[in-house]
Amino acid sequence: MRKIFYFLILVILFSCDEEQLIPKPPTYLRLELPEPSYIDHKDECGYIFKLNTNYSVEKAPIENEEINCHRRIQLGKLNGTLFFRYINMIEPVSFYINNSIDEVEMHQVKATNIRDKKIIRENDRVFGTVFELEGDVATPFQFYLTDSLEKFIYAEILFNSRPNYDSLKPSLDYLKRDLDTLLTTFKWPIQ
């Protein structure tokens, strides 16, 4: 009986493989995004641009302003918001441009690269710069547009998730195409 007992203990000990557990890297859900189609968004404040039909526009709540032309563009399945601030300039245009650049520079600590692209459409009096911030930054895209005389728009995109550049890359690529469309079709109110 003792021999059988020792034999069973040996069998149990040698049958236990010490398997090393290796943690798996986190995975992310695959985002199925529809092929974009665009409609003209004619805002009550007069500006016009083409917008992806998967997005929706709402007024941004602003206190102490008679005319509220600020907007939030909800990015649907991308789970983010484009904050769109419309300003009737009372200071020189350089004041507003410098403030916009300061906003971009606040993200230099986290950004691995910042690309900028100038927008110059003299016939439509649309001038500006779009900034693409790479890395784990809170706002991967920021831009400003101006007519250089009276009107100024500053916009930034925020996602409702932790800024992980690698996991957001497919969404950012999709969004970049929509931003290019918005920026190339943007027009000021006709005076």
pLDDT one-digit tens code per residue, 57-115: 998 877 656 567 899 999 988 889 999 999 889 999 999 999 999 999 998 888 899 99
Task: Please name each of the domains of the chain with its CATH number.
Answer: 37-185 (3.40.1000)
The whole-angstrom distance between residue 2's C-alpha and the CA centroid of its chain comes to 71
Q: Specify the DSSP class assigned to residue 188.
A: P
The whole-angstrom distance between residue 14's C-alpha and the CA centroid of its chain comes to 56
Q: pLDDT (tens digit, 9 = 90+) per residue, 135-183?
A: 999 899 999 999 999 999 999 999 888 878 877 888 889 999 999 999 9
Work out the pLDDT band at 52, boundaries 50, 70, 90.
very high
pTM, entire model: 0.79
| Strand-pair partners of 120 | 127
Q: What is the token pair recorded at 127? A: 């001038």
Question: How far is the C-alpha of 159 from the C-alpha of 140, rounded, in Å?
Answer: 9
Q: Specify the DSSP class assigned to residue 67.
A: S
